[in-house]
Amino acid sequence: MEKFEKRTLTIPEAAQIIGISRSLAYRMAAEGKLPTIKVGKRKNIIPKVALDQWLKESVKEKVN
């Protein structure tokens, strides 16, 4: 059986990775400040590549 690497994160997983609280991550996702994909009526996921890109762009914005 092949083992697949998970390519998306839940909002709490993303919050832990970037070092913010779950509530702040949920708020940022609701405000469109985190790159999420809506799955079904209530579930939101964050692609790892989108989170990485968001982090890079956030750093560039602060430096410039």
Domain-wise residue ranges, the chain? 8-63
Average pLDDT across the chain, whole number: 91
In terms of CATH architecture, what is 8-63?
Orthogonal Bundle (1.10)
Q: Where are the alpha helices (DSSP H) in 1-64?
A: 11-18, 22-30, 48-63
Check whether 63 has a pLDDT greater than 70.
Answer: no
Specify the higher pLDDT residue, 38 or 1: 38
The percent of residues in the chain predicted with pLDDT above 90, rounded, is 73
Check whether 52 has a pLDDT greater than 70.
Answer: yes
Check whether 7 has a pLDDT greater than 90.
Answer: yes
